[in-house]
Chains A and B, each alone.
Chain A
Amino acid sequence: EAGVAQSPRYKIIEKRQSVAFWCNPISGHATLYWYQQILGQGPKLLIQFQNNGVVDDSQLPKDRFSAERLKGVDSTLKIQPAKLEDSAVYLCASSFSGEETQYFGPGTRLLVL
């Protein structure tokens, strides 16, 4: 069974530029999560989708971050404009609806210069 796919794996941009990350969850998983993991810290939930609807985006900095899951399958997370403090690993995870176990992708490592 294929796992959660993410791309790109690495991205280097300058501050004020924009960047987008892509995630394809495990087939059949209705719930999709985006996490931000700053170096030396645990992952922090940014946004949670149930199919194509948002369940929780309370920790998403909406002035610069946006995310969508238009067809209820893959998802895109965008940052515009990026700040230095956005340098982190962005992890995507998915789970079956109502299932407590989340499965994580390899992450996208972002460096903002």
Chain B
Amino acid sequence: AQSVTQLGSHVSVSEGALVLLRCNYSSSVPPYLFWYVQYPNQGLQLLLKYTTGATLVKGINGFEAEFKKSETSFHLTKPSAHMSDAAEYFCAVTYMGPGNKLTFGGGTRVLVKP
């Protein structure tokens, strides 16, 4: 079984400050990890993903995440927050193989203060 824990349901950052969203996963097999963003009244948009290879992955809108197997973590960061980053962010895990079910964390809502 696989699971995802996102620490902090709400995060408030100042414009220009570092954005750090925490994600820890549990998986009995090598995971594939994702970050999705959801803007109000919209579906989920893929920010970035880790499957194999380089553990530091870069995504859209200046976000990046690092896969740390020893810590079972996949934290999302952005050096400088922008007002447009205000949204809800979801970490998710799946694995290679048939019927690859995607399991989501509970989400972290980001508020950006001017």
Using a CB–CB cutoff of 8 Å, the interface residues on chain A facing chain B are 4, 6, 33, 40-45, 48, 50, 55-56, 91, 93, 98, 100-107, 109
Contact = CB atoms under 8 A, between A and B. Distances in A.
Interface stretch (B12-20, B37-45, B53-61, B79-87): B37-45
B25 interface: no
B67 interface: no
Interface residues of B, number: 27
B46 A42 contact: no
Contacts of B45: 104
Contacts, number: 55
A106 B105 contact: no
A98 B101 CA distance: 11
Contact of B46 (A40, A91, A101): A101
Given A100-B49, A104-B44, A43 B100 contact: no
Contacts of A43: 44, 90, 104
Contact of B99 (A4, A44, A48, A91): A48
A33 B101 CA distance: 9
8 contacts: A40-B106, A41-B106, A42-B92, A50-B99, A91-B43, A104-B36, A106-B42, A106-B43
A98 B9 CA distance: 32
A41 B100 CA distance: 21
B43 A4 contact: yes
